[in-house]
Amino acid sequence: MPNRIRFYLDEHVPAPVTEGLKRRGVDILTTQVAGNCGVLDPEQLAFARTQGRVLVTSDTDFLVLASSGIDHAGIVFCAATKYTVGQALHALLLVHDVLAPEAMRNHVEFL
């Protein structure tokens, strides 16, 4: 099996998106399950990096962190109201199926 992206979903990712990814066999970890709700953004990004997980978020603060040069395992950014749940799920599955973890390192993928 090829090396696949593992996602770390921040607390604002809708539950139906999370469940849809799980049902399709995508390796995900949520902020809630990790016990990281309320943790500051730099620590969230560092946690995702140490876990080898690409952060999925709609929080623009992570874009500021990424542009500052902070090392990260990758960020997938999707504006909160841009897509329906189904569209967001489809876009994340496409990222998962097409991009490798190495390609995501210090990269921001905009959906």
What angle, 0 to 180 degrees and rounded to 10, lies between the N-to-C axes of helices 15-23 and 85-98? 40
User: pLDDT per residue over 29-88, tens digit each?
Assistant: 999 999 999 999 999 999 999 999 999 999 999 999 999 999 999 999 998 788 889 999
The continuous run of DSSP H or E covering 43 comes out as helix 41-51
Q: Where are the domains of the chain?
A: 7-110
What's the pLDDT score for residue 3? 87
Q: Torsion over CA of 61, 63, 64 and 70, rounded to 10 degrees? A: 110
Contact, 93 vs 60, CB < 8 A? no
Contact, 50 vs 73, CB < 8 A? no
48-70 b/e with 16+ CB inside 10 Å = b?
A: bbeeebbbbbbbeebeebbeeee
Q: Does domain 7-110 have CATH number 3.40.50?
A: yes
pLDDT at 25 over 60: yes
How big is the chain, counted in residues? 111
